[in-house]
Structures are given as C-alpha cells and as structure tokens.
Chains A and B, each alone.
Chain A
C-alpha cells in the first residue's frame, strides 16, 4: 500500500511537473524536503530526551503501571493483544492524554515510547501488529479537547464557536478510525499469516 502511494506521489509529481512546467520546482522540492526531514528529526532530539527521561522516572516509580491498570477496562477493548500490565499500555494512555490536551510536544515522544514497547511484543519485527495499527489510527484521527494554539491565534474570538464543531468532527473521525482498524485487521489482504499477532 505505502509502496504504491509513495511511488505514486513522486511519479505524479514528475509527470504533472513536466506538463505544467513546474519541473524545476519539483526538483527543488525533492532536495529541499530531504534537508527538512533531517532538520525535523534533529530538532526532535532535545524534546525527545526530556520526555523520555521523565517517562523513565514515571516507569521506575511504578506510575505508568498504575495508570495502565486504572484505564484497563477501556484499553483491553482497544488493544486485546497487549498483556494486561505491559508498560506499552501506560505509554499509550499517556500519549492519548497528551493528544487530548493538545500537548503535541509531549505526545510524540510518549507515542514513540509506546511504539518501542509494542515492538517488544511483536513477533515479526518489520511488520506492524494490530495493536500498533489501532494505536496509530487513533493518533492520526487527532483526538483532542483543546483547539490547536495556531487555530486559536488565527480565528481569534471565533475560536470558541469552533470548539464544539471540532469536538464533534474529531469524535467522528476517532470513531471512524477505531471502526476501520477493527474491520480491516481481519481482512484477507491485511491479516498476519504466520504466528501470533500481538
């Protein structure tokens, strides 16, 4: 899937670029974005280190396990393949809380920590598990209670009107995400054939 989309975007970019005369811009974008990607990743180092450090303390002191236990009734339905007191559940919950509260900076490191822990119980290291796909689908559906700061800045006084509509739309997209993963994970073209699927 990603193979075709990835290739398709570049292919369409080049073909359309030739016809519209934007081919120089396409070339420039390719080179530019390669640089942007590295800068983005490097820029993440500091904030990642900060949150992963704090997370380690939370883990050592048993906080993560406590949170995971408290929210088990919900998470067991979303991630039935993850063992009950696995630290991944704690990280997933913290990531979602950060997303709900609009703390994007904190959400990414927590999410990557969750992915690392999910990878530990993944029997096939280069293939995504059901739990990972569920986690990412919920993440990309953007569960949030607080409007992005940028939107508030742009909309000014109108932002409070947007609050309810955003809450509704984001709720719908989250429900859609969960429904979609639960439906798709059992489909022939996506199912994992070998071994267990944690």
Chain B
C-alpha cells in the first residue's frame, strides 16, 4: 500500500512544475487580464540581481567549509565520538554523514552513495543514512543564500535553531530506523 502511495505521489510531482508554469499565466491572462509577458519580464529581472548579491556570502561560507573538510578534521572528530555513539545505539558509520549534512549537499550525497555501495541498500546503515539525508538540510548553505540575498549579517538564533533541527532529524532517523528495521 505504501509502495503505491509513494508511486502516485512521485507521479503527481512530475506534473506540478509544468502545470504551475502554464497554470499561473493562464489564471492571470484569462481571469485577471494581466499582461503576462511584460509582468514576467519585470519579475525575471530580479533573478540576476539576487544571484549576484549572494556571491560574497556563498564565498565566505563555502570557503570555510571547504577548508574544514579538506583538513581531515571530520575524521578526527569521528574517532573521538565513536565510543560514545556506540553506547547510545548510534552506528558510527552514519556519523560522517550526519556531520557533513549541514555543511555540504554534494559532500553528504557522496558519503551517502558510499554508505549504500558499501553496505547495500537493504542494510540498516544504508536505511538510516538515506532517512537522515532526506530529513535534514544543508543548513549553512541555506542560511548563507537566504540571508545573503537580502544583506542580513546578524543572523540571531537562526543557525542554532537550524542545527538543533538537524540534530533532532539525525537522531530521529537513527531511532525510527532501528525501531522499524533493526
């Protein structure tokens, strides 16, 4: 039953973007007599300025993340933490992914690919990894892009809250998978 639901949800999602692209101008043009072409161009202009505006923020964040990753500091942290993790039932194999996820989308996807290849998609470790990947976000990237686009430099509690949510997502992934598949 779940399978067919997942299938149909994925089917529906294929049509959403094309339907939005045609449905919104349709509504505007036919019902509201909006000059859709001119209006589109006015809105589209902002795409350029916003993309350019986020560059300094992206450079700042991505350079710091890149330096941290390349140094091997993550492996060092892993060796410190793995005894504690084993104790609380958190597979140490999943830790690099959990730590990488808020930092880098491509980096964490690489780690997930590696986990699935090494342990097979039917293993608990792969299932935990995939669940983690789907339930957390690249928090640093999102914050840099979103705040950067409007020039906000004092981000207050956004980062703490985002990282807390990631941590909850990661631990939920571990324990729900252990409950279902463990």
Contacts and interface: CB of A to CB of B under 8 A. Distances in A.
Say what secondary structure dominates the interface of chain A: helix
B173 A165 contact: yes
Given A48-B47, A54-B20, A162-B130, A9 B68 contact: yes
Interface residues of A, number: 113
Contacts of A25: 70-71
Contacts of A160: 2-3, 6
B99 interface: no
A148 B62 CA distance: 22
A30 B63 contact: yes
A141 B160 CA distance: 12
B116 to A, nearest CB: 5
Contact of B168 (A13, A52, A172, A185): A172
Interface in B17-67: 17, 20-21, 24-25, 27-28, 31-32, 34, 36, 39-48, 50-52, 54-55, 58-67
B177 interface: yes
Contact of A142 (B20, B136, B145): B136
Interface of B: 2-3, 5-6, 9-10, 13, 16-17, 20-21, 24-25, 27-28, 31-32, 34, 36, 39-48, 50-52, 54-55, 58-73, 76, 102, 109, 112-113, 116, 121-122, 126-127, 130-139, 142-143, 145-147, 149-162, 164-169, 172-173, 176-177, 180-181
